[in-house]
Amino acid sequence: MAEIVILGSGSPLADPHRAGSALAVVAGDEWILIDCGRAATQRAIDAGLDLTAVSAVALTHHHSDHLSDLPTFATTRWTAGATTPLTVVAPDGPAAHYARHCLDAYVDQAFYGQASPASGPRPTIAVQAFPPTDEPAMVYAGTAWRLSSARVAHHPIEPAVGYLVEHGGRRVAVSGDTAVCDGIRSLAAGAEAVVHQALLADRVSPSLLDWNASAREVGRLAAETAPGVLVLTHLIPAPTSPADERAYLDEIRAGGFQGTALIAHDLQRIPLAER
């Protein structure tokens, strides 16, 4: 069985019900983690995911709510028994720099006696940095996984990328944070599932929509690319009632998408089938 597990559907704003940006794409006994924001590690544990079975963590950009939990994830994976470095895939620039150095502040005594001797004296991270490209390019290949990336429009935060996760004929496009742009259109084309950030246009400052996507624009994107399921995440403002969720869905429909659309919730599981 393959599925998406939403580990964090929130934003930088504190919310007890929504962790920072993070989602898992799970197939069999392995999984890929896209972004690792606030509380992602605890949500992964709550979801019953084996931290030692993560194939790679892929970072979209260096906003804090997308990567602040990375040292906790690396450390908790290590204490769970991982004996290899945590693989982190990231675009060249600040996100890759953070991944390389996020454990540097810890002296060895911070980890003394916390893990099996087989795990080594401290957790480690192996960064696979790549140059962002406008057209999708493969940036990671595991035994059964393939990750492609393309640059997205989140200026002035640069670089920012989205990803296409592929496993066994299943394709999941993940936007990160971006206005709707050619990069995410290319990644979403032919994907079974598209997971995209969304803001309610009439409830946020217009300036935010210069570098983030409204739900209406995401609806237009989905109408063009026709995914089997569209998932809205990184929701601003965070919905707190059924009426709030309907407002997001109404914007999606106004954008032209009439297919299956979901409002992300932490720990939500979305099954994937081959198209």
Greatest Cα pair distance in the chain: 57
Choosing from 65, 69, 177, 266, which is the catalytic residue? Answer: 65
Residues with Cβ within 8 Å of residue 173, at least 6 apart in sequence: 162, 163, 164, 165, 184, 187, 188, 191, 193, 194, 195, 227
Find out whether 272 and 192 touch, Cβ atoms under 8 Å: yes
Q: In 3D, which of 135, 130, 188, 181 has the Cα closest to residue 159?
A: 130
Element (H, E) at 179: none
CB-count exposure of residue 17 (10 Å: 0-12, 13-18, 19+): exposed
Is 65 catalytic? The answer is yes
Question: Which residues have CB under 8 Å from 154's CB, separation 6+?
Answer: 61, 160, 176, 177, 178, 179, 211, 212
Give the C-alpha separation, 174 to 147, whole Å: 11
Catalytic residues: 65
